[in-house]
Amino acid sequence: MVGEAEGRMRRRMGAWGEDGEDRISDLPDALRLQILSLLPLKSAIRTGVLSSRWRGLWEMRWPDPSSLDVRLPSGGGGAASAAAAVAAVRGECLAVVDRRGRRRMDRLSLAFHAGQLASPELKRLIEYAAACDVEEVRLRLDGGGGRGARGGTRRPPGALAVHFPIGSKLLARMSVRGLHLTASANAMVATLEVIHLHSVSLTDAALRRVVAACPRLRELELRYCRHLRRIDFTVGVANLRSLTVVDCSRATELRVPSAPHLRSFRFSGAFLFSNVFGSTVGCLEHLYLCSGGPETGLPRTNLPAAVPRLSNLTVLTLCSIALQYVSATTTVERSMNSLRELQLLMFGMANSNLADIYSFLKVCRCPQLERLFVQLPTNTYDSFTTNYLEVAEEEPPEGGLENLLLVKMTNFKGYRNEMRLVDFLLRKASCLNKMFLIAPKEIHPQGLRKVHSEALPHFLKTDVLHLERASATAQIIFDESVSPQTQPLHSEVFVRI
């Protein structure tokens, strides 16, 4: 593959002469750096496949600094000293604009706290980066009323705002946190491919204008944008491949009528009331559905049913409420022949929850499933003891786990239904290699007193180790592993900031 890529790159750049000599790699460094200075960052990096003389050369194609990374310090050491430090760094930051001149820029990364930059200074930095044809912009405001902001959608007087489009002809990635975002109508940003908005205040109309202005948009992430109510992408998502919506708490509707290339949809928050996807949405490969809170009965939603064509799924995460919807509404057996990883986020582990797991495995056949992750609830009592008379027990499925290799259950306490699930998996997974049973990191048995308990009792380990196993090579491990191979692929949904 590397040889093919190298050949394509050489032919594209005219690297070979008639006698097969690599003439372009023999050019002086100054000329090759001049060539690289004419290329966008992604293309400049890819020239590393041409030969060893090109590898890493892209890092020197412009005089330092090719990126502007500024983090203003938080307060400390008294108000006067903090103000002086901020003023000094602010002056240095703006002085870079004068010293550096208008040269191409890879990235503008600016992190600051409320009150440290005024609107004219922020605007000057952004306009300077745009004039330098910046390819990536990261703006982060901490302590500015972001994630926990309340109130309406109108911007408070004096609040810092970013106007879209930013103005760079080569902008490909934009990440904004904690600021207000306004957008022009009829704008066009033909190069922007990735947008991440975290704790950003913007209206439904502004979000529609931003998305509609980016025909090449392939990744959109919205986190804690709590002014959004109706997320509607009727245009601008023809090339969208990944959509993430996390805790946009006021949003009650999400509409994506057409996204033929969508492969990843990750949603966490209150379940939505209305249609999610239209009939022309692509075949999803990654799906994450989580209500984000303990179950209080089934809310009114059609979210699980509104996700079409699950036959191509390779990674699936469901919370216990979404799992209950699937179990309650799916009457026809469906096949998930491509599913390799399943993660279940269980808010409870009563008889009904165990029945939902069994029902899912019966109705949604997963013959190629290799990795199963179960996040058990952190409650310190066995819910089985309170409702074992209320719900009829569901019989476990007969098969479907023949290719299961890895099982990991976190917050494992050895309660009855947890043990029943462990016993079922050990007896049915004939190719199982490893089962991780990880105790809760901390429990609260007496009010707010914290007792750290990162190890299971010896008698419980003994009981587990004596369970029947279908796989002679199955290992039962009670210690956490930091290896990436033992972490779910969707574990970053709540990690990213």
CATH number for the domain spanning 392: value is 3.80.10
Does pLDDT of 8 surpass 60? Answer: no
pLDDT (tens digit, 9 = 90+) per residue, 259-302? 888 899 998 887 776 667 766 666 889 999 887 655 455 555 55
In this structure, the answer to whether residues 226 and 253 fall within a common structural domain is: yes
How large a percentage of the chain has pLDDT more than 90? 32
In this structure, the answer to whether residues 172 and 233 fall within a common structural domain is: yes
Does pLDDT of 338 surpass 50? Answer: yes
In this structure, the answer to whether residues 52 and 115 fall within a common structural domain is: no
The per-residue pLDDT for 87 is: 60
In this structure, the answer to whether residues 94 and 155 fall within a common structural domain is: yes
Query: What is the pLDDT confidence band of residue 63, given thresholds at 50, 70 and 90?
Result: low
Q: Which of 26-35, 145-154, 214-223, 244-253 has the highest mean pLDDT?
A: 214-223
User: Of the residues 248, 282, 316, which one is the last residue of a structural domain?
Assistant: 282
In this structure, the answer to whether residues 180 and 84 fall within a common structural domain is: yes
The per-residue pLDDT for 28 is: 76
pLDDT average, residue stretch 398-424? 92
The per-residue pLDDT for 121 is: 81
The per-residue pLDDT for 245 is: 93
pLDDT average, residue stretch 32-55? 76
- Asked which of 220-224, 227-231, 297-301 is least confident by mean pLDDT, the reply is 297-301
User: Of the residues 60, 82, 108, which one is the last residue of a structural domain?
Assistant: 60
State the chain's mean pLDDT as an integer. Answer: 79
In this structure, the answer to whether residues 389 and 458 fall within a common structural domain is: yes
pLDDT (tens digit, 9 = 90+) per residue, 106-148? 888 999 888 888 888 888 888 888 888 899 999 999 876 444 4
The per-residue pLDDT for 240 is: 93
**What's the rounded Cα separation, in Å, for the pair 111 and 101?**
22
Q: What is the 3-state secondary structure (H, E, C) of the chain?
A: CHHHHHHHHHHHHCCECCCCCECHHHCCHHHHHHHHHCCCHHHHHHHHHCCCCCCCHHHHCCCCCCEEEEECCCCCCCHHHHHHHHHHHHHHHHHHHHHHCCCCCCEEEEEEECCCCCHHHHHHHHHHHHHCCCCEEEEEEECCCCCCCCCCCCCCCCCCEEEECCCCCCCCEEEEECCEEEECCCCCCCCCCEEEEECCECCHHHHHHHHHCCCCCCEEEEECCCCCCEEECCCCCCCCCEEEEECCCCCCEEEECCCCCCCEEEEECCCCCCCCECCCCCCCCEEEEECCCCCCCCCCCCCHHHCCCCCCCCEEEEEHHHHHHHHHHCCCCEECCCCCEEEEECCCCCHHHHHHHHHHHHHEECCCCCEEEEECCCCCCCCHHHHCCCCCCCCCCCCCCCCCCEEEEECCCCCHHHHHHHHHHHHHCCCCCEEEEECCCEEEEECCEEEECCCCCHHHHHHHHCCCCCCCCCEEECCCCCCHHHCCCCCCCCCCC
In this structure, the answer to whether residues 256 and 296 fall within a common structural domain is: no
Instruction: Please tell me which residue, 179 or 329, carries the higher pLDDT value.
Output: 179
User: Of the residues 282, 301, 332, which one is the last residue of a structural domain?
Assistant: 282
In this structure, the answer to whether residues 327 and 253 fall within a common structural domain is: no
In this structure, the answer to whether residues 238 and 256 fall within a common structural domain is: yes
The per-residue pLDDT for 4 is: 54
Query: What is the pLDDT confidence band of residue 1, given thresholds at 50, 70 and 90?
Result: very low
| Count of structural domains, the chain | 3
Instruction: Please tell me which residue, 70 or 279, carries the higher pLDDT value.
Output: 70
pLDDT (tens digit, 9 = 90+) per residue, 79-114? 455 455 556 555 655 566 555 556 778 888 999 888
pLDDT (tens digit, 9 = 90+) per residue, 165-202? 998 999 999 999 999 999 988 888 999 999 999 999 99
The per-residue pLDDT for 345 is: 93
In this structure, the answer to whether residues 306 and 453 fall within a common structural domain is: yes
In this structure, the answer to whether residues 244 and 292 fall within a common structural domain is: no
Query: What is the pLDDT confidence band of residue 479, given thresholds at 50, 70 and 90?
Result: confident
pLDDT average, residue stretch 473-481? 89
In this structure, the answer to whether residues 27 and 85 fall within a common structural domain is: no
Does pLDDT of 225 surpass 90? Answer: yes
pTM across the whole model: 0.79
How large a percentage of the chain has pLDDT more than 70? 73
468: domain range? Answer: 287-497
Instruction: Please tell me which residue, 51 or 77, carries the higher pLDDT value.
Output: 51
Cβ atoms of 168 and 125 within 8 Å: the answer is: no
- Asked which of 215-219, 302-306, 413-417 is least confident by mean pLDDT, the reply is 302-306
